[in-house]
């Protein structure tokens, strides 16, 4: 909102959960129409509200309003198994991962394909919440059984111990890396997320890191993305691509006006 005021833009905040029920095709009654003056929408909702948020975006898109990250791109980025399949098909390296359909399948994977500790990542994980490290097969199977019982989709993923609790966040806007930071996990934690007490410092990405981030963002057809990359013995690996990346810490350590860059991109005609 501050960046908008500096540029002469009127910025309003709409809570997708407070809006009228929106149907899967984007239709709704009582929704604000473009005629009231909105030119663009910047989606900022968590994976927990993906269904309603997607429907709201589709409503605006159907009426010709520009969305900074489309409904389809947002959905693709939040489908972790789909992302990894896409990255694998295009040669983008990522930690060994598997989507599990049954306990029988999980037992086979744990016995022959993963070493402990390993990570269990819920598909709706965000800001580090929903990512668990497990140390043995019995604990893993027990947790997997709980997730299946709750019909909660998840991934098994290798734990990159050599990263030492560090990872990178590269922010891509309009096909360019505009800022980057290194994150270090709080003492006693393995997750480097700032919301969990991680520390951030400025980072100048290598050409390899920047190329990976730009390619991953382009494959998902995102206009704006926060790409998380973790160092490993076999080189940098893409952890995930965030369609609604937080950028408060990134602005602080990089000095880049991220909000302004996003608005400038929209104003320029996207």
The 10 Å Cβ neighbour count of residue 61 is 16
For 2-75, CATH gives: 3.40.50.20
Domain limits of the chain?
2-75, 97-159, 162-267
The CATH code of the domain at 162-267 is 3.30.470.20
CATH architecture of 97-159: 2-Layer Sandwich (3.30)
H or E element, residue 219: helix 207-219
Q: What is the pLDDT of residue 30?
A: 53
Question: pLDDT tens digit string along 172-221?
Answer: 999 999 999 999 988 877 676 676 677 889 999 999 999 999 999 999 99
Condensed to tens digits (0 to 9), the pLDDT of residues 222-267 reads: 999 999 999 999 999 999 999 999 999 999 999 999 999 999 999 9
Give the distance, in angstroms, between the CA of residue 224 and the centroid of all CA atoms in the same chain: 10
Backbone phi and psi for residue 16, each to the nearest 5 degrees, phi listed first: -60, -25
Is the model's pLDDT at 35 over the cut of 50? no
């Amino acid at each position: 909102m501050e960046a908008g005021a500096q540029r002469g833009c009127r910025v309003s905040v709409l809570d997708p959960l407070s809006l009228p029920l929106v149907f899967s095709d984007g239709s709704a009654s009582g929704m604000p129409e473009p005629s009231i003056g909105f030119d663009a929408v910047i989606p900022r909702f968590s994976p927990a509200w993906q269904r309603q948020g997607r429907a709201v975006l589709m409503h605006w898109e159907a009426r010709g309003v520009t969305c900074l990250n489309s409904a389809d791109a947002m959905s693709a980025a939040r489908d972790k198994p789909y992302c990894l399949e896409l990255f694998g098909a295009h040669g983008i390296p990522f930690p060994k991962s598997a989507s599990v359909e049954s306990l029988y399948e999980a037992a086979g994977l744990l016995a022959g394909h993963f070493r402990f500790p390993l990570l269990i990542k819920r598909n709706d994980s965000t800001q580090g919440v929903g990512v668990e490290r497990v140390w043995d097969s019995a604990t893993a199977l027990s947790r997997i059984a709980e997730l299946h019982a709750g019909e909660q989709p998840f991934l098994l993923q290798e734990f990159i111990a050599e990263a030492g609790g560090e990872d990178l966040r590269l922010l891509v806007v309009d096909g360019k890396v505009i800022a980057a930071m290194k994150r270090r996990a709080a003492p006693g934690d393995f997750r480097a997320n700032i919301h969990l007490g991680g520390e951030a410092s400025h980072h100048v990405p290598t050409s390899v890191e920047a190329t990976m981030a730009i390619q991953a963002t382009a494959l998902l057809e995102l206009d704006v993305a926060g790409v998380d990359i973790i160092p490993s013995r076999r080189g940098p690996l893409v952890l995930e691509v965030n369609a609604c990346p937080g950028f408060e810490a990134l602005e602080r350590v990089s000095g880049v006006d991220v909000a302004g860059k996003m608005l400038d991109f929209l104003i320029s005609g996207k």
